[in-house]
Structure 1
């Protein structure tokens, strides 16, 4: 039997199932994950994390910029993934892309900047 080791503080156990998919350390990874996900996956993540956001941000806000302990990095990355997908739920009716815009897959990342290819 495989034992699951928690990757988040106990107060955020409800978000544990989203760590593998959404606790991503770079904006490029988060952006790509959004594009590779379905609308239903975006909605499920949004619905799970939204009720926890006040508590989550309060936990992160206890630390000065640059001093966040390693054990909270995945929680921080989940908050950034929430910021990545929230407009797609709240403004774009769950669309994984931006409606009426250039297809995002036409852009690539280079040293953190987005450039047209």
Structure 2
């Protein structure tokens, strides 16, 4: 296991979080653009069975202060939400079918967490 921190109840997701839980949309997008069909399947099959527990846990947290391990879990949930369509709908493709090349999209807020 890596040094990446998650709440103890989600320690089994640490390796997935260390790879996917990035603080900015751009960083998570860059991972998606370079992910393989297998990468999407592993993320999906790791997080989907725990998704209800993750969302219930997140819902129970106070807005502030945000603990590092809770913030990391949030970023993992964001990564899952952004990547799961690639597994569910796009047959594991890193590109969205019938769309422009995703790398052309530049978020107006830049690389801000």
The question of whether the paired residues in 2 share the 8 Å contact of 1:60 and 1:68 is answered with no
Deviation track 1:48-92 (CA, whole Å, cap 9, x = no partner) reads 000011111111101244543332111000000000011111111
Count of matched residue positions in the alignment of Structure 1 and Structure 2: 111
Change (3 A) 1:95 1:4: closer
Larger of the two Rg values belongs to structure:
1
Deviation track 1:22-48 (CA, whole Å, cap 9, x = no partner) reads 110111111111001111101101100
Identify which of structures 1 and 2 has the higher relative contact order when contacts are C-alpha pairs closer than 8 Å and 6+ apart: 2
Structure with more of its chain in strand, by fraction? 1
The TM-score normalised by the length of structure 1 is 0.83
Q: What's the offset of the Cα at 1:8?
A: 1.1
Cα RMSD for the two superposed structures: 2.1
The question of whether the paired residues in 1 share the 8 Å contact of 2:58 and 2:74 is answered with yes
Hey, what does 2:58 align to over in structure 1? 60
The TM-score normalised by the length of structure 2 is 0.85
